[in-house]
Amino acid sequence: MSRCCINPSILSADFANLEAEFARIATADAAHVDVMDNHFVPNLTLGLAVVERLQKISPIPLDIHLMIQDPDRWGRAYAEVGCDSVTFHAEAATAPIRLARELRSAGSKAGLAIRPATAVEPYLDLLPEIDMLLVMTVEPGFGGQKFLDVTLPKIRRAAEAIKAGGGQVALQVDGGVTEETIVRAAEAGADVFVAGSSVYGASDPAAAIAALREAATNAS
């Protein structure tokens, strides 16, 4: 059994009381923060100024997911404010290797994300340049969607490639993660799980986090 990380998505939190909402997930491994610009995805959330403030009050590391156009221009700033990891989309980046190196040089882990319909194979050569590969298990932009099982073969192929390369890259999934679907994702090889409504919709988020972590660990 391998170590599995649970990163609750604050997209499902109460945005009017975020400091208290962060406290509710203090037992998680990191807080997943979705930055959306209403261009790359049809939704608008928050930006750098809010993330910088969240970085100061969060009891756990911030896992930033940039769902924006032109991450080459904006990505480094999120690393510079102290975020633990910054993930950008392969479909949006012009120079992904350069951006990944900039994020790392600024002190952040670098993550590369791909949408459900994006093939992983063209990006496997980039694994030495990143710390995490994010396979979206729903279409990015909105929370509360159902897990897409069609992504499982891609997760398996990504996991095999990571293992062949020495296993130094985390494999994250994001979208529709529940106690049921996390088992399938973990069996496919994922080890970092973004869960939104299944954590924040629970009466006891800490218990939900523990249950997800146990389910994933037992399945991995």
Q: Which residues are catalytic?
A: 34, 174
Rounded Cα–Cα distance for residues 121 and 118 (Å)? 9
Written as one string, the DSSP assignment of the chain is: ----EEEEBGGGS-GGGHHHHHHTTTTSS-EEEEEEBSSSSS-B---HHHHHHHHHH-SS-EEEEEESS-HHHHHHHHHHTT-SEEEEETTT-SSHHHHHHHHHHTT-EEEEEE-TTS-SGGGGGGGGG-SEEEEESS-TT-SSPPP-GGGHHHHHHHHHHHHHTTS-SEEEEESS--TTHHHHHHHHT--EEEESHHHHTSS-HHHHHHHHHHHHHHH-
Characterize 116-130 residue by residue with b for buried, 16 or more Cβ atoms within 10 angstroms of its Cβ, and e for exposed: eebebeebbebbebb
Amino acid letter for position 35: V
